[in-house]
Amino acid sequence: MSTLPQHPPEGTGPIRPSAAVARAARALAAAGVGSARAEAEVLAAYVLGVPRGRLALAAGLGDDQLARLDELTRRRAAREPLQHLTGRAGFRHLELSVGPGVFVPRPETELLAGWGVEQAQGRPDPVVVDLCSGSGAIALAVAQELPAARVIAVERSPAALTWLRRNAAERAAAGDRPIEVIEADVTAPDLLAELVGRVDVLLCNPPYVPDDVVVPPEVAAHDPAEAVFGGADGLVVIRPVVARAAVLLRPGGVFGVEHDDTHGTAVPGLLAEEGGFTAVAEHLDLTGRPRYATASRRADGQHAPIGAAWQTDSS
């Protein structure tokens, strides 16, 4: 395990933020933490209570603050998620509360949320549903960016629901349109029965990692397994969600689902085979890996013969 260099004795005066960050970054890099410098800056800014962008202008760290930074650095070096240490996770234009019991939203999911926002724009009073909502990242981003939308977030986990409701309350207090939170299993055959044929945009970031995949320690030890792993092939949740999406969407409504980077053929294939969708497309993330698939509910509301074509999109 990495160790931090001994900080100066008490009474030597505040330590400049740049020096404290350099110490923390060396310890994080030695522990194999990626983006060590950036994460050290985040931790130092958190301890000082200033935005990261103003860290260079901040006063130096006193003894107590340096000790706190050292402790946070040790915990991060032990691979406790950065977001658990600060209690916050950025997502598009939001800062969300996160911690033990809820999946920490990832930057790649911002692409799916952005696609959903674009699809809902221009639709009159759109109904947007976020399945496997977790912290509420997708649902709350849509609600913030599209005040005219009615947004419904669905989550099963009691622990995740606590974080979801907390974030929903925080965003409502900040002036965003309140979202509706529903406790339900997204694989239930009668999911959201009252919304059958009425949903304009349906988004889902389900558990999709195949069970035998080795994940980073931050994920293995801290993200809830039920929010990460999706069965032997990673599709145990995606299959019923695809089927239910075809029922919930109104004709012309759209569906987007995030998936594992090994599912670039499998998930679009499921959408094409379902028969209720058209315009099936695969989208890549910022590293060029397959990341989410989208489709449109057939305008006639019917099911086409199995085997519709689909395409890959780099967006």
Question: What pLDDT does residue 84 have?
Answer: 96
Name residues of the chain where pLDDT drops below 70.
1-13, 304-315
Give the angle subtended at the CA of 204 by the CAs of 198 and 207, to the nearest 5°.
145
Is-contact 297 308, C-beta < 8 A? no
Handedness of CA 56, 61, 65, 70 (dihedral sign): positive
Question: What pLDDT does residue 301 have?
Answer: 77
Question: What pLDDT does residue 276 have?
Answer: 95
Question: What pLDDT does residue 303 have?
Answer: 77
Alpha-carbon span 142 to 176, nearest angstrom: 10
One-letter amino acid of 249: L
Is-contact 101 224, C-beta < 8 A? yes
Alpha-carbon span 242 to 266, nearest angstrom: 12
Question: What pLDDT does residue 13 have?
Answer: 64
Q: What is the per-residue pLDDT across 190-210, written as a single tens digit (0 to 9) for each?
A: 999 999 999 999 999 999 999
Question: What pLDDT does residue 1 have?
Answer: 46
Question: What pLDDT does residue 3 have?
Answer: 52
Please list, in sequence order, all residues whose beta carbon lies within 8 angstroms of the beta carbon of residue 206, skipping any fewer than 6 positions away: 131, 132, 186, 230, 237, 238, 241, 257, 258
Alpha-carbon span 207 to 185, nearest angstrom: 13
Alpha-carbon span 172 to 41, nearest angstrom: 30
Question: What pLDDT does residue 310 have?
Answer: 53
CA-CA distances (angstroms) from residue 280 to 40, 131, 151, 218, 257? 42, 19, 24, 33, 11
Question: What pLDDT does residue 311 have?
Answer: 58
Is-contact 133 157, C-beta < 8 A? no
Counting residues of the chain whose pLDDT is more than 90, the rounded percentage is 87
Phi, psi (deg, nearest 5) at residue 17: -55, -40
pTM of the predicted model, to two decimals?
0.90
End-to-end Cα separation, the chain, in angstroms:
40
Q: Which of 144, 147, 153 is closest to 183 using CA atoms?
A: 153
